[in-house]
Amino acid sequence: MQNTGIAITGSGSAIPATFLDNQGLTKLVETSDEWIITRTGIRQRRIAKKDESLAALAATASKRAIAMAGITPPELDLILLATSTPDDLFGSACQIQALLGATRAVAFDLTAACSGFVFGLVTAAQFIKTNVYKNVLLVGADILSRWVNWQDRRTCILFGDAAGAVVLQANQSDRLLGFELKSDGSQNNCLNLPFHGQSKELTPGVFISQGNFQPITMNGKEVYRFAVQKVPEVIDKALFRANLCAEQIDWLLLHQANQRILDAVAQRLNIPQQKVISNIAYYGNTSAASIPLALDEAVRQGKIKSNDIIAASGFGAGLTWGAAIFQWGR
Ligand code: UT7
Protein backbone atom coordinates (compact mmCIF):
# COMPACT_ATOMS: atom_id res chain seq x y z
CA MET A 1 0.00 0.00 0.00
CA GLN A 2 1.23 3.49 -0.80
CA ASN A 3 1.82 5.86 2.10
CA THR A 4 0.20 9.06 0.90
CA GLY A 5 -0.73 10.43 4.30
CA ILE A 6 1.44 13.08 5.95
CA ALA A 7 3.11 13.08 9.34
CA ILE A 8 5.14 15.91 10.85
CA THR A 9 7.95 14.01 12.52
CA GLY A 10 10.55 16.59 13.52
CA SER A 11 10.96 20.25 14.38
CA GLY A 12 13.90 22.55 14.94
CA SER A 13 14.62 26.23 15.34
CA ALA A 14 17.48 28.71 15.49
CA ILE A 15 17.78 32.27 16.73
CA PRO A 16 20.56 34.84 16.46
CA ALA A 17 22.56 35.45 19.64
CA THR A 18 21.97 39.22 19.82
CA PHE A 19 19.06 40.51 21.96
CA LEU A 20 17.38 43.84 21.47
CA ASP A 21 15.02 44.65 24.32
CA ASN A 22 12.41 47.39 24.43
CA GLN A 23 14.71 49.60 26.48
CA GLY A 24 17.20 49.42 23.62
CA LEU A 25 14.55 50.63 21.19
CA THR A 26 13.96 53.74 23.29
CA LYS A 27 17.45 54.84 22.18
CA LEU A 28 16.29 54.73 18.54
CA VAL A 29 12.71 56.03 18.57
CA GLU A 30 10.31 57.80 20.91
CA THR A 31 8.70 54.82 22.63
CA SER A 32 8.64 53.04 25.97
CA ASP A 33 8.90 49.51 27.33
CA GLU A 34 5.44 49.97 28.81
CA TRP A 35 3.84 51.05 25.47
CA ILE A 36 5.37 48.13 23.57
CA ILE A 37 4.40 45.52 26.18
CA THR A 38 0.86 46.84 26.57
CA ARG A 39 0.16 47.18 22.84
CA THR A 40 2.00 44.09 21.56
CA GLY A 41 3.17 41.82 24.41
CA ILE A 42 6.74 42.00 23.03
CA ARG A 43 9.64 42.40 25.49
CA GLN A 44 12.63 41.60 23.30
CA ARG A 45 13.60 40.32 19.86
CA ARG A 46 16.67 38.69 18.30
CA ILE A 47 18.71 40.46 15.63
CA ALA A 48 20.94 38.80 13.05
CA LYS A 49 24.44 40.19 12.49
CA LYS A 50 25.92 40.67 9.01
CA ASP A 51 27.67 37.29 9.11
CA GLU A 52 24.53 35.43 10.29
CA SER A 53 23.02 34.63 6.92
CA LEU A 54 19.46 33.48 6.45
CA ALA A 55 20.71 30.23 4.91
CA ALA A 56 22.98 29.52 7.90
CA LEU A 57 20.21 30.21 10.43
CA ALA A 58 17.82 28.07 8.39
CA ALA A 59 20.37 25.24 8.11
CA THR A 60 20.85 25.16 11.90
CA ALA A 61 17.07 24.92 12.46
CA SER A 62 16.86 22.28 9.71
CA LYS A 63 19.58 20.06 11.21
CA ARG A 64 17.65 19.95 14.50
CA ALA A 65 14.39 19.06 12.72
CA ILE A 66 16.09 16.36 10.64
CA ALA A 67 17.70 14.86 13.76
CA MET A 68 14.36 14.74 15.56
CA ALA A 69 12.75 13.06 12.55
CA GLY A 70 15.50 10.43 12.66
CA ILE A 71 16.56 10.77 9.03
CA THR A 72 19.69 12.04 7.30
CA PRO A 73 19.99 14.95 4.83
CA PRO A 74 20.56 12.69 1.78
CA GLU A 75 17.14 11.14 2.45
CA LEU A 76 15.39 14.47 1.82
CA ASP A 77 13.50 14.70 -1.48
CA LEU A 78 12.43 18.33 -1.26
CA ILE A 79 13.46 21.47 0.65
CA LEU A 80 10.94 24.29 0.73
CA LEU A 81 12.02 27.61 2.19
CA ALA A 82 9.28 30.04 3.16
CA THR A 83 10.89 33.46 3.37
CA SER A 84 10.50 37.07 2.30
CA THR A 85 14.10 37.94 3.15
CA PRO A 86 16.39 35.60 1.18
CA ASP A 87 20.13 36.21 1.13
CA ASP A 88 19.76 36.14 -2.65
CA LEU A 89 16.72 37.33 -4.59
CA PHE A 90 17.10 34.25 -6.80
CA GLY A 91 16.34 32.22 -3.67
CA SER A 92 18.15 30.77 -0.67
CA ALA A 93 16.74 27.22 -0.52
CA CYS A 94 19.58 25.83 -2.67
CA GLN A 95 22.13 27.28 -0.25
CA ILE A 96 20.39 25.42 2.59
CA GLN A 97 20.52 22.24 0.48
CA ALA A 98 24.28 22.69 0.05
CA LEU A 99 24.87 23.49 3.74
CA LEU A 100 22.95 20.35 4.78
CA GLY A 101 24.49 18.08 2.16
CA ALA A 102 20.97 17.15 1.05
CA THR A 103 22.34 16.04 -2.29
CA ARG A 104 19.16 14.42 -3.65
CA ALA A 105 16.76 17.17 -2.67
CA VAL A 106 15.24 19.68 -5.04
CA ALA A 107 15.06 23.05 -3.28
CA PHE A 108 13.13 26.23 -3.89
CA ASP A 109 11.78 29.32 -2.11
CA LEU A 110 8.16 30.20 -1.50
CA THR A 111 7.08 33.74 -0.61
CA ALA A 112 3.90 34.37 1.33
CA ALA A 113 5.23 36.68 4.06
CA CYS A 114 3.98 35.76 7.54
CA SER A 115 1.65 33.11 6.03
CA GLY A 116 4.64 31.41 4.41
CA PHE A 117 4.90 28.52 6.84
CA VAL A 118 1.23 27.52 6.54
CA PHE A 119 1.28 27.96 2.75
CA GLY A 120 4.50 25.91 2.68
CA LEU A 121 3.00 23.16 4.83
CA VAL A 122 0.10 22.73 2.44
CA THR A 123 2.39 22.91 -0.62
CA ALA A 124 4.81 20.34 0.82
CA ALA A 125 1.88 18.07 1.66
CA GLN A 126 0.72 17.97 -1.98
CA PHE A 127 4.00 16.38 -3.10
CA ILE A 128 3.56 13.63 -0.51
CA LYS A 129 -0.16 13.11 -1.16
CA THR A 130 0.52 12.64 -4.87
CA ASN A 131 3.19 10.07 -3.97
CA VAL A 132 5.96 12.10 -5.63
CA TYR A 133 8.14 12.65 -2.53
CA LYS A 134 8.47 10.93 0.85
CA ASN A 135 10.65 13.24 2.96
CA VAL A 136 10.21 16.99 2.81
CA LEU A 137 11.98 19.69 4.82
CA LEU A 138 9.95 22.86 5.28
CA VAL A 139 11.76 25.88 6.67
CA GLY A 140 10.26 29.21 7.70
CA ALA A 141 12.98 31.80 8.12
CA ASP A 142 13.14 35.58 8.04
CA ILE A 143 15.60 38.34 8.82
CA LEU A 144 13.24 41.28 8.70
CA SER A 145 15.70 43.47 10.62
CA ARG A 146 17.36 43.96 7.21
CA TRP A 147 14.23 45.67 5.91
CA VAL A 148 12.79 47.49 8.90
CA ASN A 149 12.91 51.29 9.00
CA TRP A 150 14.57 51.65 12.41
CA GLN A 151 13.33 55.24 12.58
CA ASP A 152 9.66 54.22 12.27
CA ARG A 153 8.30 53.48 15.74
CA ARG A 154 5.04 52.06 14.31
CA THR A 155 6.88 49.11 12.77
CA CYS A 156 10.40 48.75 14.22
CA ILE A 157 9.12 47.62 17.62
CA LEU A 158 7.41 44.58 16.14
CA PHE A 159 9.90 42.49 14.21
CA GLY A 160 12.67 40.02 15.03
CA ASP A 161 14.81 37.43 13.25
CA ALA A 162 14.62 33.61 13.49
CA ALA A 163 14.30 30.32 11.65
CA GLY A 164 12.13 27.27 12.28
CA ALA A 165 11.83 24.00 10.41
CA VAL A 166 9.78 20.82 10.26
CA VAL A 167 10.16 17.49 8.49
CA LEU A 168 7.09 16.08 6.77
CA GLN A 169 7.10 12.39 5.92
CA ALA A 170 4.89 10.02 4.01
CA ASN A 171 2.77 8.13 6.51
CA GLN A 172 0.01 5.55 6.50
CA SER A 173 -2.50 7.83 8.26
CA ASP A 174 -2.87 11.45 7.21
CA ARG A 175 -2.04 13.87 10.04
CA LEU A 176 -2.86 16.99 7.99
CA LEU A 177 -6.55 17.02 8.79
CA GLY A 178 -7.75 20.14 7.00
CA PHE A 179 -6.61 23.48 5.62
CA GLU A 180 -7.77 26.71 4.03
CA LEU A 181 -5.60 29.30 2.26
CA LYS A 182 -6.61 32.82 1.20
CA SER A 183 -5.17 35.83 -0.63
CA ASP A 184 -6.39 39.37 -1.27
CA GLY A 185 -4.01 41.43 -3.36
CA SER A 186 -6.38 44.42 -3.37
CA GLN A 187 -5.19 45.15 0.18
CA ASN A 188 -1.48 44.86 -0.65
CA ASN A 189 -0.81 48.46 0.38
CA CYS A 190 -1.69 47.66 4.03
CA LEU A 191 1.67 45.94 4.50
CA ASN A 192 4.47 45.87 1.98
CA LEU A 193 8.15 46.06 1.18
CA PRO A 194 8.02 47.40 -2.36
CA PHE A 195 10.64 47.78 -5.06
CA HIS A 196 11.22 51.41 -6.01
CA GLY A 197 12.80 51.77 -9.40
CA GLN A 198 14.11 54.80 -11.23
CA SER A 199 13.47 54.91 -14.95
CA LYS A 200 16.61 55.08 -17.09
CA GLU A 201 16.85 55.25 -20.86
CA LEU A 202 19.20 52.44 -21.82
CA THR A 203 19.25 53.02 -25.57
CA PRO A 204 16.93 55.40 -27.47
CA GLY A 205 13.38 54.29 -26.70
CA VAL A 206 14.40 51.41 -24.37
CA PHE A 207 13.73 52.17 -20.73
CA ILE A 208 14.72 50.11 -17.72
CA SER A 209 13.87 50.48 -14.06
CA GLN A 210 16.59 50.02 -11.48
CA GLY A 211 16.50 50.71 -7.77
CA ASN A 212 16.09 49.17 -4.36
CA PHE A 213 13.54 47.63 -2.07
CA GLN A 214 12.14 50.14 0.41
CA PRO A 215 11.71 49.42 4.14
CA ILE A 216 8.50 47.86 5.44
CA THR A 217 5.44 50.09 5.51
CA MET A 218 2.33 49.03 7.39
CA ASN A 219 -1.11 50.29 8.29
CA GLY A 220 -1.11 48.64 11.72
CA LYS A 221 -4.77 49.31 12.51
CA GLU A 222 -5.97 47.82 9.21
CA VAL A 223 -3.74 44.74 9.54
CA TYR A 224 -4.95 44.28 13.12
CA ARG A 225 -8.60 44.48 12.04
CA PHE A 226 -7.96 42.11 9.12
CA ALA A 227 -6.24 39.52 11.35
CA VAL A 228 -8.86 39.51 14.09
CA GLN A 229 -11.67 39.11 11.55
CA LYS A 230 -10.13 36.74 8.98
CA VAL A 231 -8.08 34.36 11.13
CA PRO A 232 -11.05 32.90 13.07
CA GLU A 233 -12.94 32.49 9.76
CA VAL A 234 -10.15 30.54 8.14
CA ILE A 235 -9.60 28.35 11.21
CA ASP A 236 -13.32 27.59 11.30
CA LYS A 237 -13.18 26.58 7.62
CA ALA A 238 -10.14 24.35 8.14
CA LEU A 239 -11.82 22.76 11.19
CA PHE A 240 -14.95 22.12 9.12
CA ARG A 241 -12.81 20.37 6.49
CA ALA A 242 -11.19 18.31 9.28
CA ASN A 243 -14.63 17.43 10.62
CA LEU A 244 -13.64 18.88 14.00
CA CYS A 245 -14.91 21.64 16.26
CA ALA A 246 -12.90 24.25 18.16
CA GLU A 247 -13.23 22.38 21.49
CA GLN A 248 -11.29 19.48 20.01
CA ILE A 249 -8.18 21.58 19.41
CA ASP A 250 -5.36 20.91 21.88
CA TRP A 251 -3.28 23.91 20.80
CA LEU A 252 -3.95 27.19 19.01
CA LEU A 253 -0.70 28.09 17.24
CA LEU A 254 -1.03 31.48 15.59
CA HIS A 255 1.53 33.57 13.78
CA GLN A 256 3.09 35.55 16.62
CA ALA A 257 2.27 39.09 15.47
CA ASN A 258 0.76 40.71 18.54
CA GLN A 259 -0.38 39.22 21.87
CA ARG A 260 -3.62 41.19 21.53
CA ILE A 261 -4.33 39.43 18.21
CA LEU A 262 -3.65 36.02 19.81
CA ASP A 263 -6.03 36.87 22.67
CA ALA A 264 -8.78 38.25 20.41
CA VAL A 265 -8.68 35.27 18.01
CA ALA A 266 -8.75 32.78 20.91
CA GLN A 267 -11.69 34.63 22.42
CA ARG A 268 -13.64 34.61 19.15
CA LEU A 269 -13.05 30.87 18.79
CA ASN A 270 -13.83 30.29 22.46
CA ILE A 271 -10.46 28.65 23.04
CA PRO A 272 -9.12 28.98 26.62
CA GLN A 273 -5.84 30.82 27.25
CA GLN A 274 -4.00 27.68 28.41
CA LYS A 275 -4.36 26.22 24.91
CA VAL A 276 -2.82 29.27 23.21
CA ILE A 277 0.87 28.97 22.38
CA SER A 278 2.69 32.25 22.78
CA ASN A 279 6.37 33.16 22.77
CA ILE A 280 5.99 36.62 21.23
CA ALA A 281 7.40 38.27 24.39
CA TYR A 282 10.86 36.87 23.60
CA TYR A 283 11.08 37.03 19.81
CA GLY A 284 8.55 39.56 18.48
CA ASN A 285 7.11 38.95 15.03
CA THR A 286 9.56 36.69 13.17
CA SER A 287 7.35 36.44 10.05
CA ALA A 288 7.57 33.00 8.35
CA ALA A 289 9.64 31.66 11.26
CA SER A 290 7.15 32.45 14.01
CA ILE A 291 4.92 29.34 13.78
CA PRO A 292 7.70 26.71 13.47
CA LEU A 293 9.74 28.50 16.17
CA ALA A 294 6.81 28.44 18.62
CA LEU A 295 5.95 24.86 17.59
CA ASP A 296 9.51 23.67 18.16
CA GLU A 297 9.72 25.32 21.59
CA ALA A 298 6.42 23.79 22.69
CA VAL A 299 7.46 20.33 21.42
CA ARG A 300 10.84 20.47 23.16
CA GLN A 301 9.25 21.74 26.39
CA GLY A 302 7.01 18.65 26.29
CA LYS A 303 3.85 20.78 25.98
CA ILE A 304 2.89 19.45 22.56
CA LYS A 305 2.72 15.67 22.65
CA SER A 306 2.25 12.98 20.05
CA ASN A 307 -1.29 12.97 18.59
CA ASP A 308 -2.14 16.47 19.91
CA ILE A 309 -4.36 18.41 17.51
CA ILE A 310 -2.93 21.78 16.51
CA ALA A 311 -4.73 24.61 14.73
CA ALA A 312 -2.06 26.76 13.09
CA SER A 313 -2.78 30.01 11.31
CA GLY A 314 -0.57 32.50 9.51
CA PHE A 315 -1.53 35.94 8.22
CA GLY A 316 0.24 38.93 6.80
CA ALA A 317 1.49 40.72 3.72
CA GLY A 318 -0.05 39.96 0.36
CA LEU A 319 -2.46 40.09 2.00
CA THR A 320 -2.37 36.35 2.68
CA TRP A 321 -3.86 34.21 5.41
CA GLY A 322 -4.46 30.55 6.01
CA ALA A 323 -4.95 27.79 8.54
CA ALA A 324 -3.92 24.17 8.81
CA ILE A 325 -5.17 21.61 11.33
CA PHE A 326 -2.70 18.83 11.98
CA GLN A 327 -1.79 16.17 14.52
CA TRP A 328 1.73 16.17 15.86
CA GLY A 329 3.88 13.10 15.32
CA ARG A 330 3.53 9.86 13.42
O1 UT7 B 1 2.69 39.84 10.50
C2 UT7 B 1 1.55 40.66 10.45
C3 UT7 B 1 2.09 41.98 10.63
N4 UT7 B 1 1.55 43.00 11.39
C5 UT7 B 1 0.65 42.96 12.38
O6 UT7 B 1 0.07 41.99 12.76
C7 UT7 B 1 0.41 44.28 13.02
C8 UT7 B 1 -1.02 44.48 13.46
N9 UT7 B 1 -1.18 45.76 14.16
C10 UT7 B 1 -0.72 45.95 15.40
O11 UT7 B 1 -0.16 45.05 16.01
C12 UT7 B 1 -0.99 47.29 16.05
O13 UT7 B 1 -1.77 48.06 15.19
C14 UT7 B 1 0.33 48.07 16.41
C15 UT7 B 1 1.01 47.39 17.56
C16 UT7 B 1 1.24 48.17 15.21
C17 UT7 B 1 -0.06 49.47 16.87
O18 UT7 B 1 -0.95 49.42 17.97
P19 UT7 B 1 -2.27 50.31 17.97
O20 UT7 B 1 -2.97 50.04 19.25
O21 UT7 B 1 -3.02 50.02 16.69
O22 UT7 B 1 -1.69 51.75 17.99
P23 UT7 B 1 -1.93 52.97 16.98
O24 UT7 B 1 -1.21 52.73 15.71
O25 UT7 B 1 -3.39 53.27 16.94
O26 UT7 B 1 -1.23 54.12 17.76
C27 UT7 B 1 -1.76 54.65 18.99
C28 UT7 B 1 -0.87 55.80 19.42
C29 UT7 B 1 -0.61 56.80 18.32
O30 UT7 B 1 -0.57 58.08 18.91
P31 UT7 B 1 -1.80 59.10 18.73
O32 UT7 B 1 -1.91 59.29 17.25
O33 UT7 B 1 -2.97 58.39 19.32
O34 UT7 B 1 -1.32 60.29 19.49
C35 UT7 B 1 0.75 56.44 17.80
O36 UT7 B 1 1.43 57.55 17.24
O37 UT7 B 1 0.41 55.30 19.79
C38 UT7 B 1 1.43 55.97 19.05
N39 UT7 B 1 2.49 55.02 18.77
C40 UT7 B 1 3.48 54.78 19.65
N41 UT7 B 1 3.78 55.29 20.86
C42 UT7 B 1 4.86 54.81 21.50
C43 UT7 B 1 2.66 54.23 17.69
N44 UT7 B 1 3.75 53.48 17.83
C45 UT7 B 1 4.29 53.79 19.04
C46 UT7 B 1 5.41 53.35 19.75
N47 UT7 B 1 5.66 53.88 20.97
N48 UT7 B 1 6.24 52.41 19.27
**What pLDDT does residue 231 have?**
98
Atom 48, ligand 1: residue with shortest CA distance:
153
pLDDT above 80 for 138:
yes
Q: Which of 2, 1, 327, 7 lies closest to 171 in space, CA to CA?
A: 7
Beta bridge partners of 13: 164
**What's the pTM value of the predicted model, to 2 decimals?**
0.96
**What pLDDT does residue 330 have?**
87
Q: Which of 235, 255, 230, 256 lies closest to 246 in space, CA to CA?
A: 235
Q: Using 50, 70 and 90 to split pLDDT, how confident is the model at 314?
A: very high
Instruction: Provide mean pLDDT across the span 34-42.
Output: 98
**Average pLDDT over all residues of the chain:** 97
Q: Hey, what domains does the chain have and what are their CATH numbers?
A: 5-174 (3.40.47.10), 178-186+217-327 (3.40.47.10)
Atom 18, ligand 1: residue with shortest CA distance:
39
pLDDT above 70 for 247:
yes
Q: Which of 212, 183, 120 lies closest to 318 in space, CA to CA?
A: 183
Cα of 29 to ligand 1 centre, how many Å? 13
Write the single-letter amino acid at 26: T
Q: Using 50, 70 and 90 to split pLDDT, how confident is the model at 2?
A: confident
Contact present, 198 and 211 (Cβ < 8 Å) = yes
**What pLDDT does residue 264 have?**
98
**What pLDDT does residue 201 have?**
97
**What pLDDT does residue 284 have?**
98
**What pLDDT does residue 3 have?**
84
> CB neighbours of 192 closer than 8 A, spacing ≥ 6?
216, 217, 317
Q: Is 190 an active-site residue?
A: no
pLDDT above 70 for 267:
yes
**What pLDDT does residue 1 have?**
63
pLDDT in tens, 161-200: 999 999 999 999 999 999 999 999 999 999 999 999 999 9
C-beta 216 within 6 A of ligand 1: no
Instruction: Provide mean pLDDT across the span 234-250.
Output: 98
**What pLDDT does residue 64 have?**
98
pLDDT above 70 for 305:
yes
Catalytic residue among 114, 156, 190, 258: 114
Strands (E), the chain: 5-14, 18-21, 44-47, 78-82, 106-110, 135-143, 161-171, 176-183, 191-192, 195-203, 206-213, 217-218, 251-254, 309-316, 320-327
pLDDT in tens, 43-102: 999 999 999 999 999 999 999 999 999 999 999 999 999 999 999 999 999 999 999 999
> Are β-strands 135-143 and 78-82 bridged in parallel, bridged antiparallel, or unpaired?
parallel
Closest ligand 1 atom to Cα of 285: 1
φ/ψ of residue 260, rounded to 5: -65, -35
Q: Is 255 an active-site residue?
A: yes
pLDDT above 80 for 316:
yes
Q: Is 192 an active-site residue?
A: no
> Are β-strands 217-218 and 191-192 bridged in parallel, bridged antiparallel, or unpaired?
antiparallel
Tally the C-alpha atoms within 13 A of residue 24's C-alpha that lie toward its C-beta.
Answer: 13
Query: Ligand 1, residues 148, 152, 221: which to mutate, most atoms within 8 A of Cβ?
Result: 221
C-beta 215 within 6 A of ligand 1: no
pLDDT above 90 for 253:
yes
